[in-house]
Amino acid sequence: MKSRLCLASQSPRRAALLRQAGFDFWIYKPMVDETPVQGEYPAKLTERLSANKAEAAVQAAASENIESTVCLGSDTVVVLDDLILGKPVDSADAARILKHLSGSSHEVMTAVTVACGAWRESRQVTSKVTFCHLSDDVIRDYCASAEPYDKAGAYAIQGYAGSFVESLSGSYSAVMGLPLCETTALLALAGIHPCWKEGVCDE
C-alpha cells in the first residue's frame, strides 16, 4: 500500500532530505510553469509555486482514487539585490550567475506547502548565504562539472560549492531545497510523523 505522503517534486535533493528526516513517501513529478508573474516578489513566487506543486499532486492522487493523501510541494529561489537568479540554461549562464554571487551575500528563499483535500498550509524560510571570492578559474572548473545545472543560483551547497560558503545564517536544509523544521511541523498538522516518532523505522 502506498504511503499517505506524496512528495511533489522532481528534485532528488528534496527526496533525500525528506528520507533523512524519517518520512516514508512516494513521489509525483509535477509539471509546473515556474515563470514569475510580472512584478511578483520572490517570496510570493516561491509560495505560489510550492502550492501549485502540492495542488498538482492532490489532483493526481484524486484521479487515481488514492484517498487521504497528504501532498508536499516546495520551491526555492536565490535572490541577489532583488534579482531572482534561477537555474542556469548553459555554462555561460552558470558562470555569469556565479560571478554575481562571488564575494557577496545573497538570500535563499524556500517555501513549503502541505495540502490534503481542501486544506492547505504554507511556510516560508529565508536564509542569508555569503560566498568567498571565486576566481575565474574556480568558476570555470565548477561550471565544467555537472553540479550547477539544475540548481537555483547555479550551485549546490551540499556539493562542491560548499567550499564557496563563507557564512550561512538560516536553514541549511532550506538552502538545499526543503526546510526540515518547518516541513516536519506542517506534516504533523496533517497527521504525518517521521518513522522514528512512530517507532516503525527500518533498521
Grid cell in block for residue 198: 512512530
Cell 528526516 belongs to which residue?
A: 21
**Residues 17, 77: contact at Cβ < 8 Å?**
no
DSSP state of 152: G
141 is catalytic: no
**Which amino acid, residue 55?**
E
Q: How close are the terminal C-alpha atoms of the chain, in Å?
A: 20
Number of neighbouring beta carbons within 10 Å of residue 62: 12
Query: Strand pairing partners for 78?
Result: 85, 108
Alpha-carbon span 47 to 34, nearest angstrom: 11
Q: Which residue is catalytic, options 33, 75, 93, 136?
A: 75
Q: What angle do CA 69, 70, 74 make, to 5 degrees?
A: 135
Which residues, other chains included, contact 156 with Cβ-Cβ below 8 Å and sequence gap of 6+?
A: 13, 147, 148, 176
What amino acid positions are annotated as catalytic residues? Answer: 75
